[in-house]
Amino acid sequence: SIQMSISQKDLQKVAAILKSSPKVIFMVGAGISTGAGIPDFRSPKTGLYHNLQSLDLPYAEAVFDISFFKSNPKPFYTLAKELYPGQYVPTKFHFFMKLLQDKKLLHRVYTQNIDTLERVAGVEADYIVEAHGSFAENHCIKCHKEFSGDDFKKDVFDKKIPRCKSCKGLVKPDIVFFGEGLPERFFNQWEEDLEDLESAKDGEFLTITAGTSLTVYPFASLPSEVPKNQKRVLVNKERVGDFKSKRENDVVFLDDSDEFVESLCDLLGWRKELDSLIAKGTKDIKGIKHETAEEKAKEITEDVKEELEEEAKEDEKNLQDLTKDLGTLNLEKSRDPTSKSI
């Protein structure tokens, strides 16, 4: 078909670029992990926010809002249990990044994902910039003390609210919530990489943007800051952000990120290497749930719904108890001749 031959031509372009040993910078989002069964947040029908809209939350994103979290942390912890690393296997795209690391072509991975699947696939920490944080570390939001990951995980899986040993404040993973700033490393590393990009020879770098709607700033502005003499590739279900006004040397694939990787590796003769990386990288991951990202989004929504309902029941009961206590208080007061009625 015509569509195929076009993307075949584009694939050949990308393959040729990779053969010239460029420094590759990835800029990725949730779309590269949906194949692992992790829901993305923003897909119109299937994303997590779409599903959460049906619940009694001030707004869908409230589960990641720092002020909502302070008043009601349970929905987030419920979600954290479902998204917690260790339950998911990296995708072909994740292993492709590892393959480029092995081939000494990887320069950096900027990820918006909190699932740590880049690490799980074997990409070294120095290469990874987790722009929106991750579950790797946890801190008390009051006194900022670090809280052990094992303790946090145990509490979350036991449906207990993780609290600081010192000040009893709420503990949250170092995931960037709405209303919080991005990690220092994001800004520092990008400043350094951008300097390298700007002083590089034509085509010395290749940036691959994949699986992101490019709507959350400041991350969304990264591709637009790439100098025009460096090549950019977009792999996504639709054209997004700065790729809507296509630069002449952009290559755009409106495609699934795993399928893109398969086709590209086939063309480069790297398929065997990729497959053996995947086999090696996944053999130790046990007890994996095999659900689609859509099923997962629905399941998380059900869990959060139960939490909210329990919370509402508890509030109702507390209110009744309070009313009862006040009633008793009034009765006692009215029996006491010395007291004036309230």
Catalytic residues: 132
User: CA 193, 121, 42, 132 torsion: positive or negative?
Assistant: negative
Nearest to 261 by CA among 94, 117, 12: 94
144: phi then psi, degrees, rounded to nearest 5: 65, 15
* Length in residues, the chain: 342
Helices (H), the chain: 2-19, 48-52, 66-71, 74-83, 92-102, 117-120, 149-157, 184-199, 222-225, 257-268, 271-282, 293-335
- Per the annotation, binding residues for NAD(+) are 30-34, 40-42, 112-115, 212-213, 236-238
Nearest to 41 by CA among 120, 94, 115: 115
Q: In what order do the strands lie in the sheet with 146-147?
A: 146-147, 133-140, 171-175
* Structure token pair of residue 40: 């993305």
Provide the Cα torsion 264, 269, 272, 277; round to 10°.
-60
- Per the annotation, binding residues for Zn(2+) are 140, 143, 164, 167
Report the amino acid identity of residue 202: D
- Per the annotation, binding residues are 30-34, 40-42, 112-115, 140, 143, 164, 167, 212-213, 236-238
Tally the C-alpha atoms within 13 A of residue 59's C-alpha that lie toward its C-beta.
Answer: 5
